[in-house]
Amino acid sequence: AKEPVRVLVTGAAGQIGYALVPMIARGVMLGRDQPVILHMLDIPPAAEALHGVKMELVDAAFPLLKGVVATTDVVEACTGVNIAVMVGGFPRKEGMERKDVMSKNVAIYKSQASALEKYAAANCKVLVVANPANTNALILKEFAPSISEKNITCLTRLDHNRALGQVSERLSVPVSDVKNVIIWGNHSSTQYPDVNHATVKTPAGEKPVRVLVANDEWLNGEFITTVQQRGAAIIKARKLSSALSAASSACDHIRDWVLGTPEGTWVSMGVYSDGSYNVPAGLIYSFPVTCCNGEWTIVQGLPIDELSRKKLDLTAEELSEEKALAYSCLS
Ligand code: NAI
C-alpha cells in the first residue's frame, strides 16, 4: 500500500476549503489509490468552524483519508506536508485601498513562507490560490529561499478551464474534446485567454478552434472579456465568489503537476518566469506548461502575433506594478 501524502489546505474553514477538502479526501487530487492526511489551517476566529469541517470529514468516512490535523497553529499545520494549497488570505473589504489588502497578504505569505521552509517535507509543492495569487506566490518564494522556485506556483487553471468551457459551449462540443487554450499572465482581469493554439477533437481529426468558431470578432472580443470577468459574473449571480470551480481546478492543477499532463496537451500554471516569451524574469506569470515526473516545463516556441504580444505585455506590466507594491509593503 502507498504511504499517505500530507496535504495542507490553508483557509480550510472558508468557502473554497469546504469544497476542496472532500475532493482531496476522495482522491480527486492525487488519485483513487493514494491515501492522504489532511492538514487544515485557519485563524482563531474560524477555529470552531474549522472543527466543524473536521467533524464532517470524519462523518463522511472517506476510505483514503488516514488522518486530519485541524489547527490554528501554522507550525503544526506545515509540519511534514508534501503539498500545500494556500487558500487562506485577507479579502478586500469595501472601502479598502489596494495597498492595504496587499499589505495584509504580504504579511501572511511572508510568515507562512517561513513556516513552510522550516517544517514542510523536502520537495514540498506549493499552490497559491488566495488573491492576489501571483504576487502572494512571489512573496512566498522570496521568503522561502530554500524551497526551489520550481515548487512554487499559483492557480490560473480555473481561468484555463473557464476558457475551455466557453469554447465548448460556443461549439456545442464536449469540453473534454477541447484543449490547449492558454491563460497568460496575472489571475486578474488583465489575464490574456489565448485560443490561437487551441484545438478540438473531431471525427476528421484535431481542428483549430479559430477555424471551427470562424468568428474572430467573438474570439478577440466577447470570448476574452467573458473569461476575464467570469469571477465577477459568478459573484453577481451567487452573491459569493467561485468555490466549487476553484476547488476543482486546484485539484486539476496539482494532479497534472504530480501525475503529468497527457501527451500533446498543455495546461496553464502561474510559475516563476525565466524570461520565456520575453516575459520579465522574476515574476510569477501564467504560462502554458507540460508536466512530467513531478516537474513543469514552459511550452516553448509558440508563435505570438501582434495582438497577443500587446496582451502578454499588458498583464506583465500589471504584475510588475503589483510586485513593486508588495515590496513597498515590506519596508
Ligand atoms: P473565504 O473568505 O470563504 O475563506 C478564506 C479563509 O481563509 C477564511 O476561513 C479565513 O478565516 C482564512 N484565513 C484568513 N487569513 C488566514 C491566515 N492568515 N491563515 C490561514 N487562514 C486564513 O474565501 P474563499 O472564497 O474560500 O476564497 C479564498 C481565496 O481564494 C480568496 O483570496 C479568493 O480571492 C481566492 N480565489 C482565487 C481563485 C483563483 O483562481 N486563483 C478563484 C477563487 C477565489
- pLDDT bin (cut points 50, 70, 90) of residue 114 is very high
Could you report the per-residue pLDDT of 249-279, keeping only the tens digit for each?
Answer: 999 999 999 999 999 999 999 999 999 999 9
C-alpha 151 – ligand 1 centre gap (Å): 21
Ligand 1, atom 15, lies closest to the CA of 89
> Is the CB of residue 87 less than 8 Å from the CB of residue 46?
no
pLDDT exceeding 90 applies to what percent of the chain? 96
Report the mean per-residue pLDDT for the chain.
97
Cα separation, 163 vs 226, in Å, equals: 9
Residue 17 Cα, ligand 1 centroid: separation in angstroms?
Answer: 8
Average pLDDT over residues 22-48: 98
> What pLDDT does 321 receive?
97
**312 Cβ contact list (under 8 Å, min separation 6):** 184, 185, 192, 277, 278, 279, 304
**CA atoms of 290 and 257, how far apart (whole Å):** 8
> 3-state class of 277 per DSSP?
helix
Residue 331 confidence (pLDDT) above 80? no
Neighbour order of strands in the sheet with 178-179: 178-179, 199-202, 205-208
User: Using CA atoms, how far apart are residues 72 and 84, in angstroms rounded to an integer?
Assistant: 15
Ligand 1 centroid to Cα of residue 257, in Å, is 22
Q: How confident is the model at residue 44 (pLDDT cuts 50, 70, 90)?
A: very high
Choose the catalytic residue: 39, 187, 197, 253. Answer: 187
CA atoms within 13 A on the CB side of 8: 33
3-state SS, one letter per residue, for 130-183: CCCHHHHHHHHHHCCCCCCHHHEEECCHHHHHHHHHHHHHHHCCCHHHEECCEE
φ, ψ for residue 160 (rounded to 5)? -60, -50
